Structure 1
Amino acid sequence: MSTVNRLSCGASGSTSDSTGDDDTGYDAGEAAQPGFFVLTGSAPAAVRLTDLDWTFVTTGLADAVAAARRHAEAESARAGTDLDVV
């Protein structure tokens, strides 16, 4: 059995507390979809929700947080508003 540790970070303005389901996932229907950063030992060959922005980081927590921050900064510049890494 393998263990996957997840660090879900992204630029998001959503305040929804929706739990989603197998068809939509967590807040997958939101207009401003965040990027998802997953800290894992190895990236999967495929993902279930292909319309979402997935980044799999295998080089450690610091790299995952740095990637999420870069993504949030780029999305903030594009959107013209400050977005958070959550």
Structure 2
Amino acid sequence: MSALVTTTFADRPELEAAMWAMPDTWPVFMGHDEIAAALFLHVPSTSPHLCLVATEGEEVWPGRSAAPFALHTARRGTLPAGGWVAC
């Protein structure tokens, strides 16, 4: 058995296609979030260093992504009460 190895798309960009081919397991309500729809799909191409993926030999396991967010800016010092929609 091979060891599970975690890396980023910045280091292994060829794994992005395998990630998108995996079944979608997000809760249904996530598909109705306009902000997520507008931003989330771009994270692997714009911030590949924030996208983790695991491999075991040639097998690709589900990964995780994070969206960059600057909290401490001139216009924003706290999280908005209305969530990211209010940003």
- TM-score strictly above 0.5: no
Q: Whose helix proportion is higher, 1 or 2?
A: 2
The structure with the largest alpha-carbon Rg is 2
TM-score, length of structure 1 as denominator length: 0.24
Bigger strand fraction: 2
